Chain A
Amino acid sequence: MNTQTAPLLSARGLTKHFAIKGGIFAREVHRIHAVDGVSFDIAAGETLGLVGESGCGKSTTGRCILRLIEPSSGEVWFQGRDVTKLDADALRGLRRDMQIIFQDPFASLNPRHTVGGIIGEALIIHGLSRTRAELDDRVVQLLETVGLQPDHRHRFPHEFSGGQRQRIGIARALAVEPKLIICDEPVSALDVSIQAQVINLLEDLQEKFGLTYLFIAHDLSVVEHISDRVAVMYLGRVVEIAPSRELYDNPRHPYTEALLSAVPIPDPLVKRKRIVLQGDVPNPIRPPTGCRFHTRCPIAEARCSQEVPELEQSSDGHWVACHLRR
């Protein structure tokens, strides 16, 4: 999956297994295959969407990239360095270039700090502001960038609505002038009218600062709207990657197809054929052999339960992991 220019970020075979321990010696009794050999590239200035249902490993993937969760194996190349090999000091430096916006604007801001303190903390840690006045100026500037008032810096998070809190989270991420922002479900907790405000803000900021986004969400319509390319995950694996428009017009993987058809369309005149998948997502402790989707796949054949399909390019920039659809 080579893009023309060198990608800003490349994940190669990224894997995270969580051990579940039990018994008196805390032996490992189970192993959850949360992320299993995920590879993708993100070009500078691009937005890559990462979609999938709960438990498919999309958030774990995002966190492994930042090493907020230590990956079990695999490589993450960012600006020529393998993030997974960096020591604590180098990692801290790297975090200036990679930031994250969390889903829950209620839980991700410290309730005992003022908004100014929350946004300014990173500036102090990274030594980006030398004097108090300089720090204050920068905080004011950041608040204005995200559409908040300068005097909001003296207030506490509980005084803000969900949408405003998410703006504070964005200002905090922007403070260190990062190159890449991992947006982990940034609008899922917000009402629709507020969702649009935050999406528009993220798009404006991308244009203004040349940001690169990894946009993780379960809402396919939001991901389609904001992303240049989209990767679809199922049970810890990427099943399809394609340019956004191509993926929505021409989904190849049966899972992508079913997922798209399940999204309700806000127009009563549009009638579509819906593919309703049977059953639930299998337990990631014992993922199905072969293709992990074969237990719910409407077109599965015998070999789907034995051979693992590799992610292969089926047309320009369109990658799919399926034995039957190429």
Chain B
Amino acid sequence: MTEALLEIKDLKTWFKTDDGMVRAVDGVSMTIARGETLAVVGESGCGKTVTARSVLKLIDMPPGRFEAGQIVWRGRDLIPLPAADMDKIRAREIAMVFQEPMTSLNPVYTVGDQIAESLRTHHGLSRKESIDGAVEMLKLVQIPNAERRVHDYPHQFSGGMRQRVVIAIALACKPQLLIADEPTTALDVTIQAQILELLGDMKAKFGMAIMLITHAMGVVAENAQRVVVMYAGKVVEEAPVEELFGNPRHPYTQGLIRSIPRVDARTRGHARLEQIPGTVPSLLNPPAGCRFANRCRFATDPCRDSEPPLRQVAPNHKVACIL
């Protein structure tokens, strides 16, 4: 692995609620190298989005707070960084694409203004220059008639086109890391294919790293080089993509991979889907020991007593399971 671009070390992002402390992210570590695509995968409430938002410090504080850990961006810890310095990193060095293209654009500004805003703030371009820049960006993300559409408002675009606009805004300042939080979840499959292809093209062009947050294993398999699997606020497994799908070690990862029906040949006929019993535990009072123990087929008493550490089982392959 080459030099780490981003290194998250034992991050704990907790939220104070009326019912108590919610340990949304509870001791998560991961690294992203220059130019690589890291997928962070897990089900709703596993902490993947909170981890991503923590990197950009987009968590409302309070109720959230960083309980412990470091977020090291190119050798500098972002957690103690003052807001003014953080503003310089956001968009210029680390940009984000959100899930909902309907809500992440401002409905009262034209898309051109929204792309241009980023160019003006971060590169100090004039109004004219920034609008020209916006047209360039729209062309880059393959929006037809970019010269004309730059003056349109978000509601005049379809979902897929809006997501292209969001990507154009994110890429306007040529960031080194793009955090894509479920970028295609709200889109139809044919549009999803278009957007994923576009992200791949953009990556090839700009050479940025991508942190791809998703719950869809198919999207992971086709787009990532390395994968981090999260469950209930913890990393349970980390491996290169071929290794993770070929030789999943954690019972949760195994269940996740086997529980998906597939359109290709393997699950033909009415073979039953493998299911993971039960539901994700509450993060308010997470169970002691392994958080997956109460749904795990292999769990034994030691699993319920102490938390399994993330240990190396093969080169670049780490798993948090004592079995």
Contacts and interface: CB of A to CB of B under 8 A. Distances in A.
Interface of A: 53-54, 161, 163-164, 191-197, 199-200, 203, 218, 220-222, 224-226, 245, 248, 258-270, 274, 276-277, 280-281
Interface of B: 43-44, 158, 160-161, 188-194, 196-197, 215-222, 241-242, 245-246, 255-257, 259-264, 267-268, 270, 272-277, 279-280
A196 B222 CA distance: 22
Contacts of B274: 196
Contacts of A192: 43, 215, 217, 256, 259-260
A263 B220 CA distance: 12
B190 A262 contact: yes
Given A193-B255, A221-B261, A276-B190, 9 more contacts: A200-B275, A220-B263, A221-B262, A225-B270, A259-B190, A262-B189, A264-B192, A266-B218, A276-B194
B193 A262 contact: yes
Contact of B194 (A196, A199, A225, A277): A277
A196 B221 contact: no
B270 A267 contact: no
A195 to B, nearest CB: 7
21 contacts: A53-B189, A164-B279, A191-B215, A192-B259, A193-B43, A194-B279, A196-B273, A196-B274, A199-B273, A200-B275, A221-B218, A221-B260, A221-B262, A264-B196, A264-B216, A265-B221, A266-B260, A268-B222, A276-B190, A277-B194, A280-B161
Given A263-B218, A266-B221, A268-B241, A280 B191 contact: yes
Nearest to B161: A280
5 A-B pairs with least C-beta separation: A264-B218, A225-B261, A196-B259, A53-B188, A266-B217
B245 A245 contact: no
B189 A196 contact: no
Interface centre among B158, B189, B192 (most CB of A within 10 A): B189
Given A192-B259, A276-B194, A268 B245 contact: yes
A298 to B, nearest CB: 12
Nearest to B252: A193
Nearest to B275: A196
B245 A54 contact: no
A262 B273 contact: no
B218 A280 contact: no
